[in-house]
Structure 1
Amino acid sequence: MTAVDATIRQLGPALRALLVLTVITGVLYPLAVWGVGQVAFRDQAAGSLVHRDGRVVGSRLIGQEFTGPRWFHSRPSATGDTPYDATNSYGSNLGPTNPELVKVVGERRAQVAKENGVAESAVPPDAVTAGGSGLDPHISPAYAQVQLSRVARANHLAPGQVARLVEEHTDRPSLGFLGEPGVNVVGVNLALRDLVHHQQRTRTR
């Protein structure tokens, strides 16, 4: 048997294995995962989109920037010129002793304390630091608590009403122990908007 014949005999099984594995891992497996997602996790597979008035207004998985006293504010985003840019997800990659980060954190802490009327020592870490993805949809319950009085006052609501919305939109740790509780900012702000609109309609009747 020549070297060419030996090579051809070896290529045959290799090519057949390549074809079979391509079909299994490149076609059948992705189709199976897609099918399971569409049947068992349709909302998650579609991006956990949030709809209001017949249109998509956000996702429970991607944060948004909220400004003004009426809304709960998200944690900072480090995705460049456009905060929460889902096409440009990354963190600042600045270390804890980096002078630039130390300066920015100090400025953010002072700003959060001022706008919420609390001491700088009461400002939690997630209020002044961006997450690794820059797209975090949650804030800590502590940061929500810091903002609660401001939000209630700006919307002419009782603090207890706003506290209930925060509780309803606090996601618990997975399986009861994986991760930390987090308040979904998009969800709580939409609920806040709905509550304000409901009360306004009630007053005008």
Structure 2
Amino acid sequence: MRLPAWLAQHLAALRALVALTIVLGLAYPLLMVAVARVPGLAGNADGSLIGRRGSALIGQSFTDAQGNPLKQYFQSRPSAAGAGYDPEATSASNLGPENVKLLNQVCRRSKAVGELEGVDGSRPFCTRGGAGAVLAVYPGHAVSINETCPATPFVREYQGRPVRCAKEGEDYSAAMMTPIRGGAPDHPAVPADAVTASGSGLDPHISVAYANLQVPRVAKARGMSPERVRGLVEAHTDGRTLGFMGAPAVNVLELNLALDRS
């Protein structure tokens, strides 16, 4: 007996639904799970977890309840992902290289890292107080926009114009914004990755230079020799990707766990 056209169409749709459910809803996911269990891939599939301490692929902070760096641990690079290293809010700050807010962040972080590590935290276009050295220049005067009154501006004059402190709530958008390089060294003691977030905000690595900068502090806090701590840094330094891409980097979580085991 020939089925009505409408019923035949519904049965065909039902058969397609069952077939696709079996293939795409069961067979394919099970195949992917099986592939993920292949030796060498299982760790990445599980998130590269290191015990209950975190993932080797996602950075984390090593601070106390007030957000102060724990001196016995190596510090990660800053994060712009949510409240910090949030995989559900991975992102960069989206601030351009000439953005005053970004410059202030960099200057403030550089000063703080310098104080923590006992080195000169100054860098170009930053004031000694850890603010962006930016002037709002007018025909007859200039304003240090990141130094609010009654602060004393980092320079007294600019090209013959007296420099004033900024007034709270004042609009300086009509002025010519001019960054001032200052006398900071061309190569600051504080590396760039210590003061800037990665593109994802989740980077678990720091540069070898930033790790070596932290060695004396960590060694002193743990009562270890700098040579021993530096040896652990070298042991947890990953080489260039495929041997030529990027730069060697240190996995902070793995390094800190190795310190705890020492």
Shift of 1:194: 1.3
Matching residue within 230, 235, 241 for 1:168? 235
Q: Which amino acid aligns with 1:102?
A: L
C-alpha distance in structure 1 between counterparts of 2:256 and 2:86, whole Å: 19
Q: Which 10-residue stretch deviates more, 26-35 or 118-127?
A: 26-35
Shift of 1:26: 5.4
Q: Once superposed, what is the RMSD of the aligned Cα atoms? A: 2.5
Q: Which residue of 1 aligns with 2:35?
A: 36
1:94 and 1:22, CA in 2 relative to 1: closer, same or farther beyond 3 A? farther
Q: Which amino acid aligns with 1:113?
A: G
Q: Which residue of 1 aligns with 2:88?
A: 87
Q: Which residue of 1 aligns with 2:111?
A: 110
1:30 and 1:144, CA in 2 relative to 1: closer, same or farther beyond 3 A? same
C-alpha distance in structure 2 between counterparts of 1:95 and 1:172, whole Å: 30
Matching residue within 213, 224, 246 for 1:179? 246
Q: Structure 1: any 5+ residue segments left out of the alignment? A: 1-11, 196-205
Q: Which residue of 2 aligns with 1:63?
A: 59
**Residue identity (%):** 50
**Which digits, 9 at most, give the CA deviation of each residue in 1:128-166, with x for residues without a partner?**
001111111100101101111111111111001001111
Q: How does 1:89-168 map to 2 (within 5 A)?
A: 89-120=90-121, 121-168=188-235
Structure 2 length as normaliser, TM-score? 0.63
Larger % of strand: which? 2
1:19 and 1:173, CA in 2 relative to 1: closer, same or farther beyond 3 A? farther
Larger % of helix: which? 1
Q: Which amino acid aligns with 1:64?
A: Q
- Between the two proteins, the alignment pairs up a number of residues equal to 186
Structure 1 length as normaliser, TM-score? 0.79
**Which digits, 9 at most, give the CA deviation of each residue in 1:108-136, with x for residues without a partner?**
11111111112231111110001111111
1:14 and 1:122, CA in 2 relative to 1: closer, same or farther beyond 3 A? farther
Q: Which residue of 1 aligns with 2:140?
A: none
SS of equivalent residue, structure 1 residue 39: coil
Q: Which residue of 2 aligns with 1:72?
A: 74
C-alpha distance in structure 2 between counterparts of 1:151 and 1:86, whole Å: 28
Greater C-alpha radius of gyration: 2
C-alpha distance in structure 2 between counterparts of 1:135 and 1:14, whole Å: 45
C-alpha distance in structure 2 between counterparts of 1:114 and 1:88, whole Å: 30
Q: Which amino acid aligns with 1:77?
A: S
1:61 and 1:119, CA in 2 relative to 1: closer, same or farther beyond 3 A? same
Q: Which 10-residue stretch deviates more, 18-27 or 176-185?
A: 18-27
C-alpha distance in structure 2 between counterparts of 1:78 and 1:191, whole Å: 27
Q: Which amino acid aligns with 2:226?
A: P
Shift of 1:33: 2.5
Shift of 1:175: 2.0
Q: Which amino acid aligns with 2:116?
A: E
C-alpha distance in structure 2 between counterparts of 1:109 and 1:86, whole Å: 26
Q: Which residue of 1 aligns with 2:256?
A: 189
C-alpha distance in structure 2 between counterparts of 1:167 and 1:29, whole Å: 42
C-alpha distance in structure 2 between counterparts of 1:163 and 1:191, whole Å: 12
Q: Structure 2: any 5+ residue segments left out of the alignment? A: 1-10, 63-68, 122-187
Shift of 1:28: 3.6
SS of equivalent residue, structure 1 residue 91: coil
Q: Which 10-residue stretch deviates more, 167-176 or 97-106?
A: 167-176
